[in-house]
Structure 1
Amino acid sequence: MTSDSVQQDMFTVLHGQPAPVVTRWTYTATDPFAVTLAVRTRHDRWVEWLVGRDLVLEGLSRPTGDGDIRMSPQLVQGYDIVEIEIRSTDGRAVLEVDRDLLRHFVDSTAEMVAFGEESGRMDLDGMIERISQSCAE
C-alpha cells in the first residue's frame, strides 16, 4: 500500500461456520468516503463490497445501516465484535469481526483523512475528466 492508503487483513467468523474466513479492509485517500471490504472465498477469489466509511465508524458504537450492509456492535460469548450483515439478491451473510481490530483500522483511516475533511480530498475535476474520456472512447 502507498502512503495515501491503508489495508488490514482480519480473520472473520462467518456466522454459523466453524472456520474463520479472511477479510481485507482497504481505505484510499483518493476515495475518502469509502472503504472496500473484501472477503476471500474458498477458491482464493476476493468478493468486494464498497462500504461508506461513516457506516463503519458508526457500526463500532451502535447499530447502523439500512441498505445492503448493516453493522452492529455485539458481545457474543464474551467476545467484543461487530456483526456485519451483507444482503444481496442471492441471499445474505453475517460476518463477525473483532471490534478492536476494526477500530484500529478506522483510526488508521482517520490519520490519513480526518472525518469531516473528506470532500477536501476529492479531485472532482479529475473524476469528471476521466468519466468524460471513458465516454468518448
Structure 2
Amino acid sequence: MTENQPAPRAPGPKPNEIAPLSLRIFRIVWDSYRIPLRVEFRFDRGDPLVVSVTFHPEGGPPITWRIGRDLLHDGLLAPTGIGDVRVWPRISRGRPMLRLRLERCGMRVLFELDLHRVEDWLFETYDLVPPGEELTGLDWDGLVADPLEDH
C-alpha cells in the first residue's frame, strides 16, 4: 500500500499576501497600431496606498511606476487622475478595457488593459487591506519624530 501524501504544491503567495497579476497589455500608438508587452501588478500590504506596476518592454529594461490604489480603483468606473497618471474605462473591440496614460517630462504613453482582470486582482488587495484601513497601525509618533531628530 502506498501512503497518502499531499500532492506537491506550486509556490504561491504567503498568507496575508496577494499574488502578482501578470498581464499581456497593449501600448496604443495609434488606434490601429498596438504594441503588446507584459506588465506585472504588485501589492505590498506594508505600503497599501499604492500598487507597483512594472512594464517589461521587449528589448528594454523593466520600468516600474507606483500608482495610487484608489486612483486605479476609481479609474475602473470613470475617468480619473490628473498629471502623470490618468485612468479610465472604455469599451474596445466589444470588450471592457482599462486605459492607462502615463506622462513624464512632456512624453506620454497610452496602454490598454483587460478591465476585469485588473478589477478582480484589485479587489483581492481590498480583501487584504480594506479601504480606509491603509494607515491603521502606522507608527505616527515614529513618523513625526524621525525627521525631527538631531542627526
Q: Please indicate the TM-score interval, normalised by the length of the shorter structure.
A: 0.7 to 0.9
Judge conservation of contact 1:5–1:26 (CA < 8 Å) in 2: no
Judge conservation of contact 2:27–2:110 (CA < 8 Å) in 1: yes
Shift of 1:19: 4.0
The residue number in structure 1 matching 2:73 is 57
- Structure 2 unmatched runs, 5+: 1-12
Shift of 1:80: 0.8
SS at the partner of 1:108? Answer: helix
- Using the size of structure 2 for normalisation, the TM-score is 0.78
2:103 to 87, 91, 116: 87
Task: String of CA shifts for 1:59-112, please: whole Å, max 9, x gaps.
Answer: 100000002000000001212100000001161110000000010111110111
1:72 aligns with 2:88: yes
Could you say which structure has the higher helix fraction? 1
2:28 to 10, 15, 20: 15
Q: 1:67 to 1:100 in 2, by over 3 A?
A: same
Quote the RMSD (CA, aligned, Å).
Answer: 2.4
Aligned partner letter, 1:56: L
Aligned partner letter, 2:88: S
- Structure 1 unmatched runs, 5+: none
Aligned residues: percent identity? 22
Q: How many angstroms apart in 2 are the aligned matches of 1:107 and 1:2?
A: 18
The residue number in structure 1 matching 2:45 is 29
Larger RCO, structures 1/2 (Cα 8 Å, 6+ apart)? 1
Q: 1:122 to 1:20 in 2, by over 3 A?
A: farther
Shift of 1:4: 3.7
Q: How many angstroms apart in 2 are the aligned matches of 1:33 and 1:90?
A: 26
Q: How many angstroms apart in 1 are the aligned matches of 2:62 and 2:144?
A: 29
Corresponding residue pairs, total: 135
Shift of 1:123: 4.4
Shift of 1:36: 0.5
Q: 1:124 to 1:60 in 2, by over 3 A?
A: same
- Using the size of structure 1 for normalisation, the TM-score is 0.85
Q: How many angstroms apart in 1 are the aligned matches of 2:145 and 2:121?
A: 32
The residue number in structure 2 matching 1:108 is 124
Greater CA drift, 90-99 or 62-71? 90-99
Aligned partner letter, 2:101: E
